Amino acid sequence: MALVLASGSRIRADLLKNAGLSIDVDPADVDERAVEAPLLKAEFPPEDIASVLAEAKANDVSSRRPGELVIGADQILAFEGERRTKPDDMEAARRQLLAFSGKTHELLSAVVISKDGEAIWRHVSTARLTMRDLSPAFIGHYLADAGDVVLSSVGAYQLESIGVQLFEKIEGDYFTVLGLPLLPLLAQLRSLGELET
């Protein structure tokens, strides 16, 4: 049985490959803002929104790949009662990092396995990240060094590279911060007989 990743995220694909999995990458075609709009209006908690988005992606790809296990994932950043999305440009990234300075935010990473268009397993993990007090000058230097790659991250940072310098404390699983709760996913794949026990 093939294992399919319903995401174009390089880091998610690398995490799975580095864990020894053979995967096909087949990104989902889902309008995330349209899926989440009624959930936001109904004030669903962030973990539920992340799970629904991950499931929508997994089910989208799974419906066109019968018999295959499809992994969908989504990550939400919650800060001071608001859901944040990827910054549109470097100025938005700068403003976001200034707002995060000296404060704590949460990353909620959801992963879903679907088969034949239906979710068969779901999991959401949460990490709490506290940023150092950051000066505007430091943020400017950081963004210049990191480059446009920060725009592909909901938090405007890559913890696996220079973005680690932004933080004072991290509570939670490293893989959750990277956008894929890998250990629970591997455990579930073992229980499904996809990995050796």
135 part of a folded domain:
yes
Range of the domain at 95: 3-191
196 part of a folded domain:
no
Output the domain CATH number for residue 94. 3.90.950.10
- pLDDT on residue 1: 58
Cite the active site residues: 74
108-163 tens-digit pLDDT: 999 999 999 999 999 999 999 999 999 999 999 999 999 999 998 899 998 888 99
105 part of a folded domain:
yes
44-77 tens-digit pLDDT: 999 999 999 999 999 999 999 999 999 999 999 9
159 part of a folded domain:
yes
Q: Which two tokens stand for residue 161?
A: 């590279």
Under 8 Å CB-to-CB from 63, ≥6 apart: which residues? 116, 117
197 part of a folded domain:
no
| The pTM of the whole model exceeds 0.85 | yes
What is the CB neighbour count within 10 angstroms for residue 163?
19
Number of structural domains found in the chain: 1
Q: What percent of the chain has pLDDT over 90?
A: 86
173 part of a folded domain:
yes
